[in-house]
Amino acid sequence: MSGLDLRSRLRSGSDPGPGSGLGPGRLRPRGRRAVATASLAIVALVVAVLALGLGDYPLSPPEVLHALLGGDGFASTIVLQWRLPRVLAALVFGAALGASGAVFQSLTRNPLGSPDVIGFSTGAYTGAIVVIVSGAASAVGTALGALVGGLATALVVYLLAWRKGVHGLRLIIVGIAVTALLHSVNSWLLLRAQAEVALSASFWGAGSLALVGWSELLPGAALIAVLAVLVAGLARPLRQLELGDDAARAHGLRAEGTRLALVVLAVALTAVVTASTGPIIFVALAAPQLARRVVRSAGVPLLGAALVGGLLLLVADVVAQHVTTTPVPVGLVTLVIGGAYLISLLVAESRRTR
């Protein structure tokens, strides 16, 4: 077979034929990734069913499935009205955080590149605090404050990191500095606020799914669905940016414009979650790298990171509700998990550079 024929077959996706050295074995990594991604989805569904059965009124998995499939009675009320919104919120919001972290880690080409580290989650929290302290707190007002705060922080970090383009390490360093500054601003705002307002903002800032019902879940889930579709549409340009700006431009891609669009979408995903639950940190940091190891992908897998993010937040919420002596905000559990993960990441990185 000539080189031209081989290239034509590869572009069309057909088998290059015997003797080419590019037979079905080349498709096995893609098949393994598909199986791993499907397995993550199945595990998330199984954990969700188990989580729906936990509580003061325990239910078996068959009883949960019966309630989900249209059963009636008290069990149906417990599952559909009391527990299902929280479980779905953990899956949806965790998936949003995982996808957001995957975008930032792909853009920065650094496992520390996440909205938690770069400061966008903190900026969203700052926007929400300003709304709460000013006395204009409401579901819509807090959501808008978080969104504006996150996007404003992204703009500031992006401009400060700009030097004939934005590079990953510079973006992370600037983001860490802005995060430290915003923490100081948040503390100052809470200290100047009235005691009950400060307590309310502090509790919200711990990150919790306890107050999420259908009225809080549905608007956030709808926004996340729209943002997820837009991010998926930029998945191929994101992969091209991973190869470097020069390679991306060689393929006709506007590197900076695409990068800015991805940053805005990823920040919006984080801000929507923050507006609904308060800041839940370290899910966006850990989920992409865990997904990369599970899926065995060369780059950070968007779908895999979203599935791991949802699963991670759901497991953390189960721990927060049922494993600790008293229920605690899920943000405290993810903080502990994320701290342990960050230490292990730094230890592994130090061993690699020796």
Res 188: pLDDT: 92
Res 18: pLDDT: 44
Domain presence at residue 241? yes
Res 354: pLDDT: 64
SS3 content of the chain, % helix, strand, coil (to 5): 75, 0, 20
Res 284: pLDDT: 92
CATH of the domain at 279: 1.10.3470.10
Q: Low-confidence residues of the chain, pLDDT below 50? A: 1-27
Domain presence at residue 348? no
Domain presence at residue 264? yes
pTM score, whole prediction: 0.85
Domain presence at residue 67? no
Counted domains in the chain: 1
DSSP 60: -
CA 102 – CA 122 distance, rounded (Å)? 18
- Quick one: which H or E segment has residue 149? helix 139-161
- At 37, list the tokens: 């991604």
**CA-angle at 295, arms to 289 and 298, nearest 5°:** 70
According to the 3-state scheme, what is the secondary structure of 295-352? HCCCCCCHHHHHHHHHHHHHHHHHHHHHHCCCCCCHHHHHHHHHHHHHHHHHHHHHHH
Phi first, then psi: give them for residue 119, nearest 5 degrees: 110, 0
pLDDT digits (tens, 9 = 90+) for 119-161: 888 888 898 888 888 877 677 788 788 888 888 998 898 888 8
Determine the distance from the C-alpha atom of residue 19 to the mean position of all C-alpha atoms in its chain, rounded to a whole number. 44
CA 320 – CA 269 distance, rounded (Å)? 23
* Residue type for position 335: L
Domain presence at residue 76? no
pLDDT digits (tens, 9 = 90+) for 66-113: 999 887 788 888 999 999 999 999 999 999 999 999 999 988 888 878
DSSP 85: H
Domain presence at residue 268? yes
Distances (CA, A) of 290 to 101, 282, 285, 309, 333: 11, 12, 9, 9, 17
Res 137: pLDDT: 67
Domain presence at residue 44? no
Phi first, then psi: give them for residue 304, nearest 5 degrees: -60, -40
Domain presence at residue 318? no
Q: The domain containing residue 107 runs over which residues?
A: 89-206+213-312+329-341
DSSP structure string for 217-285:
HHHHHHHHHHHHHHHHHTHHHHHHHHT-HHHHHHTT--HHHHHHHHHHHHHHHHHHHHHHH----SHHH
